[in-house]
């Protein structure tokens, strides 16, 4: 995400200016392959295209990497050489630009570590791997979130369901993943109101609009984030917002009242839709007063609903473009799914429970779902352990949904304009989640060496000098690329 005049605050370090396709064309469920979104962003607008509909970039004649499912079966005969991996990374991880604290872990798909050095570090947006895995497993890859309207007496209540991508108005048909929007919800609500109130006295057809954002609880703005993040970096996390909480004034800043703003947009759209219904049916329903906050009653009358993309699609998108806001919403959904409480604390407990169930080392400290907190501390072995568990899981495991969203080196998402000077072997053979904060750069993902031997890795540096921000990032890219260019299987160097 780019903030202000272009300062990078999380995983995305360059805007993606043109749609690009994922050159890996195997089944989406395979750990190294699958659909990845293409994104273009100009003047504050974003267009996401279903990757299945986008041609691969010209000039990319890439061998198709072995799907991780097949690679996992061969892992016992294609184990990693500890000495080869260490030799390849020894020089790369000592680059001056990476600063004084570099951590790294590399393992085969069984999770057997061949390198684990440096200890816990600030993970930045690689944290999103933990949040995404927990959402896929506990909320459910196929789950969608409903934004609804109900009528209680003479009040129409807009009820937030925690849809991170809820839009203010209908998006284009090629937007991926598809967005629900409050304008469509308003039109459906208007039709339902006219049907329900057609024979009601005129007084009962004068209604107010209220909104219910009570699904989430606890502090709306993460207490571990700097106060300076308010408005520029992130909005308060809400179960009800439109356009990810951006301010309605078009400034590009974030609103301090995203739920109230969503209700305002809905109120205007509902008034327009009711006017259209009056022309068509002759039944007049009018709105009075201003919007207010409430809690919908369980006995309220249902009116209409719109549904989000699936969790799997949301995860794919948020990993591709490193979407901080979507990650924070999903963390709250994890809390709801695991304990019935939609708070950050409950979500983090859900993440830890999942990691324990996978026998993965717990984070030293995790305080948010996006990685914006500089107080987070995660050992690279935790990220590697999670990726290995996902790669070694059953073909139908929800955890396989982590891999389609990992950006491909030099091709998609937050890696689209990286690895430019890396060996050709890295392009299409490294997929990794990026992480970037001031003085922090990290990568965690999966790679195939030049002989097709798979491995999972996490590389982290959290003492990068301001002047070395770009060269430090490039040094980390070079280290990941070296893994793809090496002959790291047992027998190559042992």
Please report, for the domain that includes residue 115, its CATH number: 3.40.710.10
Instruction: Verify that 100 and 215 share a domain, yes or no.
Output: no
SS3 call for 44 = coil
DSSP one-letter code for 142: T
Q: Is 350 in contact with 335 (CB distance < 8 Å)? A: yes
Residue 333: CA atoms inside 13 Å, Cβ hemisphere, count?
32
Write out the H or E segment, with its range, that includes residue 3.
strand 2-3
Q: Which of 254, 279, 309 is the last residue of a domain?
A: 309
Measured distance CA(227)–CA(200) in Å, rounded: 50
* pLDDT tens by residue, the chain, 494 residues: 333 222 223 333 322 222 222 322 232 233 333 322 223 222 233 333 333 333 323 322 223 333 333 333 433 346 899 999 999 999 999 999 999 999 999 999 999 999 999 999 999 999 999 999 999 999 999 999 999 999 999 999 999 999 999 999 999 988 999 999 999 999 999 999 999 999 999 999 999 999 999 999 999 999 999 999 999 999 999 999 999 999 998 888 999 999 999 999 999 999 999 999 999 999 999 999 999 999 999 999 999 999 999 999 999 999 999 999 999 999 999 999 999 999 999 999 999 999 999 999 999 999 999 999 999 999 999 999 999 999 999 999 999 999 999 999 988 999 999 998 877 777 778 999 999 999 999 999 999 998 999 999 999 999 999 999 999 999 999 999 999 999 998 865 45
Do the Cβ atoms of 409 and 419 come closer than 8 Å? yes
In a domain, residue 288? The reply is yes
169 and 90 assigned to the same domain: no
- What CA–CA distance (Å, rounded) separates 121 from 102? 8
Angstrom CA distances, 466 to 57, 321, 430, 435, 475, stand at 34, 23, 27, 16, 15
Sign of CA dihedral 219, 222, 228, 230: negative
If asked whether residues 362 and 469 sit together in one domain, one would say yes
What pTM did the predictor assign? 0.86
Look at residues 489, 367, 370, 345 and name the one whose alpha carbon lies nearest to residue 433: 370
Q: The tokens of 108 are what?
A: 């085969």
Same domain, 246 and 348: no
Give the whole-angstrom CA distance, residue 472 versus residue 347: 32
Confirm whether 492 is domain-assigned.
Answer: no
Do 191 and 115 belong together in one domain? Answer: no
Taking alpha carbons only, the member of 100, 129, 127, 103 closest to residue 116 is 103
In a shared domain, residues 473 and 342:
yes
8 Å CB contact between 25 and 17? no
Question: 227, 219 in Cβ contact below 8 A?
Answer: no
Structure tokens at 261: 């703003």
Structural domain count of the chain: 2
Tens of pLDDT, residue by residue over 442-491, are 999 999 998 999 999 999 999 999 999 999 999 999 999 999 999 998 86
The pLDDT assigned to 421 comes to 80
CA angle in degrees (0–180, nearest 5) for 265-269-272:
145
Backbone angles phi and psi of 370, in degrees to 5: -100, -25
313 contact partners, CB below 8 Å, separation of at least 6: 176, 177
Of the candidates 251, 276, 309, which is a domain's last residue? 309
Check whether residue 125 and residue 92 sit in a common domain: yes
- The neighbouring-strand residues paired with 167 are 181
Give the whole-angstrom CA distance, residue 314 versus residue 135: 10
Tokens for 8, please give them. 């990078």
Domain-located, residue 446: yes
The DSSP string of 74-140 is TTTTSPBPHHHHHHHHHHHTT-GGGBS-EEEEEE-TT--EEEEES--B--GGGGHHHHHHHIIIIII
Of the three residues 265, 292, 309, the one that is the final residue of a domain is 309
Place of tokens 């799997």: 312
Q: Kindly state whether residue 351 falls inside one of the protein's structural domains.
A: yes
CB atoms within 10 A of CB 389: 23
340: left (phi over 0), alpha (psi -120 to 50) or beta: left
Contacts of 210 (CB under 8 A, 6+ apart): 155, 156, 157, 158, 263, 291, 292, 293, 294
The token pair at 322 is 């490193």
- The reported pLDDT for the residue numbered 49 is 35
CA 476 from centroid of its chain's CA atoms: 22
- 490 found inside a domain: no
94 and 161 housed in the same domain = no
Pairing of strands 146-152, 38-42: unpaired
Cα maximum dimension of the chain: 86
In a domain, 210, yes or no: yes
- Angle, to 10 degrees, between the axis of helix 344-357 and the axis of helix 380-391? 60
Quote the tokens at residue 394.
């059953």
CB atoms within 10 A of CB 29: 17
Residues 400 and 434 in one domain: yes
Alpha-carbon distance 170 to 148, whole Å? 16
> How are the residues of the chain apportioned to helix, strand and coil, as percentages rounded to the nearest 5?
35, 20, 45
User: Does a structural domain hold residue 491?
Assistant: no
Whether 164 and 291 share a structural domain: yes
Please tell me the distance from the alpha carbon of residue 490 to that of residue 486, in angstroms, as a whole number.
12
User: Do residues 305 and 323 both lie within one domain?
Assistant: no
pLDDT value at residue 424? 76
Residue 493 lies in a domain: no
Question: How far from chain centre, in Å, is Cα 180?
Answer: 17
Q: How many CB atoms lie within 10 A of CB 253?
A: 17
Q: Are residues 205 and 171 in the same domain?
A: yes
* Domain boundaries, position 8: 2-139+313-485
pLDDT tens figures, 238-288:
999 999 999 998 888 999 999 999 999 999 999 999 999 999 999 999 999
């Amino acid at each position: 995400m780019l903030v202000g005049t272009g300062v990078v605050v999380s995983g995305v370090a360059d805007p993606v200016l043109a749609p690009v396709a994922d050159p890996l064309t195997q089944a989406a469920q395979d750990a190294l392959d699958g659909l990845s979104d293409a994104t273009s962003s100009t003047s504050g607008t974003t267009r996401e295209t279903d990757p299945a509909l986008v041609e691969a970039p010209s000039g990319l004649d890439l061998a198709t990497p072995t799907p991780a499912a097949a690679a996992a079966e061969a892992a016992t005969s294609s184990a990693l050489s500890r000495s080869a991996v260490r030799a390849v990374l020894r020089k790369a991880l000592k680059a001056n630009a990476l600063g004084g604290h570099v951590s790294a872990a590399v393992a085969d798909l069984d999770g057997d570590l061949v390198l684990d050095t440096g200890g816990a570090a600030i993970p930045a947006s690689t944290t999103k791997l933990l949040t995404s895995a927990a959402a896929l497993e506990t909320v459910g890859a196929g789950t969608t979130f409903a934004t609804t309207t109900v009528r209680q007496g003479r009040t129409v209540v807009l009820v937030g369901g925690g849809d991170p991508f809820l839009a203010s108005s209908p998006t284009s048909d090629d937007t991926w993943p598809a967005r629900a929007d409050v304008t469509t919800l308003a039109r459906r609500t208007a039709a339902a109101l006219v049907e329900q109130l057609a024979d009601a006295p005129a007084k009962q057809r004068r209604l107010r609009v209220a909104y219910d954002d009570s699904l989430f609880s606890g502090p709306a703005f993460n207490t571990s984030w700097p106060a300076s993040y308010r408005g520029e970096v992130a909005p308060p996390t809400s179960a009800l917002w439109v356009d990810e909480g951006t301010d309605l004034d078009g400034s590009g800043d974030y609103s301090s009242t995203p739920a109230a703003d969503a209700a305002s947009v809905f109120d205007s759209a509902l008034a327009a839709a009711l006017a259209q219904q009056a022309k068509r049916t002759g039944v007049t329903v009018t709105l009075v007063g201003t919007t207010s906050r409430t809690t919908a009653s369980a006995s309220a009358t249902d009116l209409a609903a719109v549904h989000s993309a699936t969790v799997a699609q949301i995860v794919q998108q948020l990993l591709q473009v490193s979407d901080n806001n979507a990650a924070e919403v999903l963390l709250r959904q994890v809390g709801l799914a695991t304990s019935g409480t939609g708070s950050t604390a409950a979500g983090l407990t859900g993440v830890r429970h999942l990691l324990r169930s996978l026998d993965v080392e717990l984070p030293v400290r995790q305080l948010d779902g996006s990685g914006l907190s500089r107080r987070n501390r995660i050992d690279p072995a935790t990220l590697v352990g999670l990726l290995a568990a996902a790669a070694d899981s059953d073909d139908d495991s929800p955890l396989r949904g982590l891999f389609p969203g990992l950006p491909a080196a030099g091709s998609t998402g937050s890696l689209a304009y990286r690895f430019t000077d890396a060996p050709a072997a890295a392009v299409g053979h490294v997929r990794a989640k990026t992480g970037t904060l001031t003085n922090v750069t990290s990568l965690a993902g999966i790679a195939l060496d030049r002989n097709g031997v798979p491995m999972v890795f996490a590389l982290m540096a959290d003492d990068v000098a301001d002047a070395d921000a770009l060269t430090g990032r490039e040094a980390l890219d070079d280290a990941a690329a070296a893994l793809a260019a090496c002959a790291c299987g047992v027998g190559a160097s042992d």
